[in-house]
Amino acid sequence: MNATARVLTGLAAGAVLGLALAGWSPAAATQVANVVQPFGKLWLNALQMTVVPLVLALVVVGVNTASDAAASGRIARRAIVAFILLLLLGALFTAAVAPPLFALFPHNPALRDALDHAVVGHATQAAPVGWTDALVAMVPSNAIMAAAQSAMVPLVVFALFLGFALTRIAPARRALLVEFFQAIADAMIVIVRWVLWVAPLGVFALILGVCARSGLGMLSALGVYVLAEIVLYLAVTAMMYAVAVFWGREKLARFVAALLPPQAVAISTQSSLASLPAMLESAEQRLGYPSQVNALVLPMAVTLCRLTSPVQYLTSAAFIAWAYGVDLSAGQLIAGAVLAVVISLGSVGLPGAVTFIATNLPVAQSMGLPVGPLGLMLAVDTLPDAFATLGNVTADLTATSVVTRQSRADTAASSSLDTHA
């Protein structure tokens, strides 16, 4: 049985037992929940303890990786700019649409009380502050204090400064420090894998307690989360067609037809990497893009331009806010969107469930939201994976269309200058 199946089994077993206890005796169900939920909190604590060093290391390494890629030539620089803009577009769209989308579904007041028992620490939201205070707080006066307080936005800002500073020091010292931070990231990933090995037990304890207190409320809420995630994945996928037409100057019918083979591979394999050969063939044979652009941009896009990653982080945060009845301000949503893009670019190569914890948790924390429900959401988040891969593959070819158009414009301009000369 693979890891996903084990976690889903733990979720199902905990839900069935919790619902059975709630139906038999609510008082007994509450007593059982009080006994088992501390074990769920212990599991969440173990996951949460790795987030600060992991995010710091990933952002520092990610900045230097992107800097190295950008230094390889004009095409690479344009590709990175296109990736960032596409990711930011998807993140801002999700920040604007996800909260009203969740508001369409009825909210169960008992859900918050049940979730409060599953939360690590307090489920209180940070008090709203003015935009000037929020702006000043983005740059930490004490980076160590920001890390100790899990203040993710100031911590990421410090990591960005540190990452860019490393690109300006002697290559030997830079390589030494980048290797150091990569080692920290690798060690944290090992710890997360250890913790995820007992994920079925942690998820079992969390869902048992929540279902024992809220009945079917939590299961229906998780269904709403999965449905909203799929809807938003499909929405940003459709948005990529418009980007290819208006920014990449593609013909819609031709672009749709060229995307079908790699999209079919993406849905069947749920892997962007497995879709890369089909993307290369479509880009060259069906769309006629230059081979030098395809060979550079598409492999970079597979690792850096994961369009649905920021969508996932913000959808998770919006779901938690909906479950707790929290109204997110525009400032919180924008800050969350920018942080989601930075973390997405920094989390290159993270495996499976490790990605969910290392990326969703900082975004939720930065928006002042409790992180307890993330343990339950981890169990069901693999269900929309096919739609996530579909969006990523579509964005990869969209970015290639944009870079190709810009490269052709440069070539035309150079030919024109040579003619006049």
List pLDDT tens digits, range 69-117.
766 678 888 899 999 999 999 999 999 999 999 999 987 777 776 676 6
Look over the chain and give the mean of its residue pLDDT values, rounded to a whole number: 85
Average pLDDT estimate for 261-271: 91
Q: Could you tell me the two tokens for 281?
A: 């063939």
Percent of the chain with pLDDT over 90: 36
- pLDDT beyond 60 at 414: no
**Rounded CA separation 324/102 (Å):** 12
Q: Out of 17-21, 232-236, 375-379, 400-404, which region has the weakest mean confidence (pLDDT)?
A: 375-379
In this prediction, residue 125 carries a pLDDT of 46
List pLDDT tens digits, range 340-352.
999 888 776 565 5
Structural domains in the chain, CATH included, are: 3-408 (1.10.3860)
- pLDDT beyond 70 at 203: yes
- pLDDT beyond 60 at 418: no
Q: Out of 32-41, 132-141, 200-209, 356-365, which region has the weakest mean confidence (pLDDT)?
A: 132-141
More confident residue, 253 or 331: 253
- Residue 72 vs residues 60, 66, 193, 256: alpha-carbon distances, Å: 19, 10, 34, 31
